[in-house]
Chain A
Amino acid sequence: MNDTLANTEKKTAYILTLPAVLLVFSIILFPIFANIWISFKEVELKDIRIPEPRAKKIVKSISDEPSKIKILYKLRNSSLIQEIRDVSFQDNFPKNLEIENLDPRCSYKKYNLKCEFGNWPPKYRENFEVIFATNDGSKIDKKNLKSIKPKLDGKSDNILLNTNFTLKNFKKVLFENEFIDLLLTTFYYTFFGTVGSIVFGILTAQMVNQKFYGRTFMRSVLLFPYVAPVVALAYTWELLLDPNSGTLNSLLLNYQIIETPINLLGQKYIEISILGFDFKLRLALTTVIMFEIWRYFPLAFLFILARLQAIPKELYEAADVDGASPFQKFFNITLPQITAVISILFMIRFIWNFNKFEDVFLLTGGASGTRTLPINVYQQGFAISDIGMGSAVSIVIVVLLLMFMFFYFKLLGKRVDEN
């Protein structure tokens, strides 16, 4: 009795979870494996369209002979690069039509025209003509004829399904295209964006954790950049930072802080001298990182605030009795309480910043030294139309991510053991 109950429970569980699991697996897990497959192939954007045999039907009446009609099929291979094999053709006709000129490739039975056209090379075109006459001499309804669509079928190689593999893509990714520079840019972007957003998150959470007038309003406002659509925010920033008529440059010029406008999103390097040391700052990359911090610190804020509010008040009261200063309280009570949250945040944000595409794409498009790995996926796959290369870069991303997660959990695991 118990067994059957457990069995029905299992069955119900599978029925309930199956739709979700199937969907997620087919849309998320399957593509990851498909990526591996594609990355070992030489595929371009134009190759992925399946070649189709196509026919355009044109109905022409023959002058002086209303009971006869000429039908022209404009046949073609839709692909410019691939052949189609064993093309077959079928079309139906009204029940009073007889064929006048039967092509040797075709047969006409039961008012159904069937043809076998054999193989069509790429770019193949043919004008195929048939003439019909009514067997009872009545007039032909052209509209009816036009409305029947011919059916075509053919076999073609799907370039994605054959088994020609190559290592070319990975060679190109790893040894050309300034891979080291790409990696460094991605790392700067990810690391400084993550650290920056966490630092600002701590500051704002500490701030909102105190009592002041308008605190709930402040909490909502701090989350605005995180919830608003990235497209709107990126274009607003572009407008603010524009070198010609952007607000920021106009303001700085107006107050005579700078003499010539700075192209914050279009200039790769800026030379800064501090205390006699000259060094080059990657300006566009810094701006993009600023945007990233601005947009994602609210998340860190939300997490840390939730943790701060859970810290028992007694800890602070005890510290007050001991005569601790505000800074001592912050470093000795608050910080240790939020380290766990910070380390989780660091991992989450690191992974997501590592894969961030939209922000950089919308702000700079990857120009002026802001090309990160995700941007490279897009550029290789869609701008240069080399799908295979794009996939190879995706694989590099996945491998790097797995490595990061492995080291992160190893490190974290050790820390947990020590405690």
Chain B
Amino acid sequence: MRTKNTIIFSLISTFFLIFLISIWKILATLQGLSITSFNIEILFIFGFLISLGHLGIGDKIKSFYKSIIFSSIFVFCDGYLIQKLPIWYNVGVFLILYFFTYKISKYNFISLKEEHSKQVILFDFLTLFGILFFSFVILFPFYMMLVTSFKTQIALLVNPLDFSINFGQDVKDLFKSYFVIFKSYKFGKYIITSTIVSVGTVIITLIFAIPAAYAVARLNFFGKTFLSTSILIIYMFPAIVLVIPLYTIFSQLGLRNSIEGLLIVYTATTLPVAIYMLQGYFKSIPKELEEAAILDKLSWFGIITKIIIPLSIPAISSVALYVFMIAWNEFLFSLMFLDNPNSFTLSRAIQYLSGDAETPRQYLMAGSVVVTLPVLFIFVYFEKYLVSGLTAGSVKG
């Protein structure tokens, strides 16, 4: 039992180590180092020996010194005997090894004897593995987007694997793609259009949604249940089936290629979820406040502006941010309704840019960074509000 557990522990931790080192190698390759092999066999032997050695030594040496010793031995063997690579790479390997030995330091022969120790080890390492794996898988494309936008055409062709940013160069060269898209491709104008459309959608949606949500939350009227259920059902209806009729109607009314047309469609598609989110919050406001207001002879307009809105600022801001995000990211309708470059939104402009096969990819990526940054910034900054919006309005997407 003890040997079996020991071997399983060593195997799992070894695979974890191989995974860590492999990610580090990939990142190092992207910084221009020429590493052509993962050396998995050697890594496997080292990892296995370290895990076993760790268990064998146990508490005889302080875990801090133990980690340092193991890490140094590994770096020495891997870095100076097998591959000759720059110092920063080996420092990285040393830190990874230190992290690894720190993580395995809580296991010893005693803990391996406990019930379910195999599964506990597997769970622990799977969690660690998952955290690193998902961070890598998610952040890597964003990293590539950012870095590509700082590269030149030649640099991309010469070594497609070199993704280091040369900060030594002139600022003008570094941000060349950005200068180009703002000068030659009028991205400044597209940003303004996108902002007008998104902010406009937010304002109009709120103007329409707050009274409607208030009525659904508070007042009794014929067709109320029908209204509140149909709101959600309507929301499930896909945009793609609306496209053709709206296109024909908008063509005949001359609303294509206009900001007004986009505003109407965006407002209509975000209204149901906005009403749904707001009415849920309005219901949680104590009724007594309004009763007092009615005694003071306030009209419904007064009740909404003086009582409801000030009390539900958090819910309103989360709706506003959510609607802003939808409108800013929207692509389908802007593809269908806009074919004149003068009225493009950012998303549509980037798609238009990519339609030309000659467009260098760093321009495309610079455009992508420009359209992504505001959304990510808003998301990170207002995360608390947005997450509640996402959860409530999650049928969208």
Chain A interfacial positions (CB closer than 8 Å to B): 6, 9-10, 12-17, 19-21, 23-24, 26-32, 34-35, 38, 43, 48-50, 158, 160, 203-204, 207, 210, 212, 218, 220-233, 235-237, 239-240, 245-247, 250-251, 254-256, 294, 296, 299, 302-303, 306, 323, 325-327, 348, 351-352, 354-355, 357-358, 361-362, 374, 377-378, 381-382, 387, 390-391, 394-395, 397-398, 401
CB B124 to nearest CB in A, in angstroms, measures 9
Question: Which residues does chain A contribute within 8 Å of B267, judged by CB atoms?
Answer: 23
Q: Does B169 contact A (CB under 8 A)?
A: no
**How many angstroms from the CA of A32 to the CA of B365 in the assembled complex?**
37
Which of A29, A48, A223, A240 has a CB less than 8 Å from the CB of B248? Answer: A48
Q: Is the CB of A231 within 8 A of B248?
A: no
List CB contacts (< 8 Å) of B156-210 with chain A: 156-157, 160-161, 163, 208-209
Interface size on B, residues (CB 8 A): 103
Residue B364 CB within 8 A of the other chain: yes
> Does B76 sit within 8 A of A, measured CB to CB?
no
Contact B243 A381 (CB under 8 A): yes
Cross-chain contact A221 with B139 (CB below 8 angstroms): yes
Candidate in A229, A302, A401 with the most chain B CB atoms within 10 angstroms: A229
The distance from the CB of A413 to the nearest CB of chain B, in whole angstroms, is 16
A-B contact pairs, 13 of them (CB 8 A): A10-B220, A13-B219, A17-B215, A38-B248, A48-B252, A218-B131, A224-B376, A231-B368, A239-B145, A247-B30, A254-B161, A355-B239, A374-B238
Measured between C-beta atoms, what is the minimum distance from A198 to chain B in Å?
Answer: 13
* B365 adjacent to A229 (CB under 8 Å): no
A337 and B267 CA atoms in complex are apart in Å by 37
**Cβ of B27 to closest chain A Cβ, rounded Å:** 11
Q: Are B216 and A17 in contact (CB under 8 A)?
A: yes
Question: B88 interface residue, CB < 8 Å from A?
Answer: no
Specify the main secondary structure of chain B where it touches its partner. Answer: helix
Q: Are B397 and A20 in contact (CB under 8 A)?
A: no
With both chains docked as a complex, state the minimum distance between the C-beta of B100 and any C-beta of chain A, in angstroms. Answer: 16
**Min CB gap A84→B, angstroms:** 15
B138–A222 touching, CB < 8 Å: yes
- Structural contact, A13 and B221, CB atoms closer than 8 A: yes
Contact of A229 among B237, B240, B347, B383 (CB under 8 A): B347
Q: Are B242 and A28 in contact (CB under 8 A)?
A: yes
Closest 6 CB pairs of A and B: A355-B238, A27-B268, A232-B368, A31-B245, A13-B221, A34-B245
What residues on B are CB-neighbors of A401 within 8 Å? 238
In angstroms, how far is the closest chain B Cβ from the Cβ of A329? 10
B129 to chain A, nearest CB (A): 9
Q: Are A255 and B234 in contact (CB under 8 A)?
A: no
A381 to B335, CA, bound (A): 13
CB of B214 closer than 8 Å to a CB of A: yes
The reply to whether the CB of B329 lies closer than 8 angstroms to some CB of chain A is yes
Within 8 A of A (CB), among B221-273: 221-222, 224, 227, 234, 236-249, 251-252, 264-265, 267-269, 271-272
Q: Does any Cβ of A come within 8 Å of B75's Cβ?
A: no
Q: Tell me if A323 and B219 are in contact (CB < 8 A).
A: no
Whether a CB of chain A sits under 8 angstroms from the CB of B54 is no
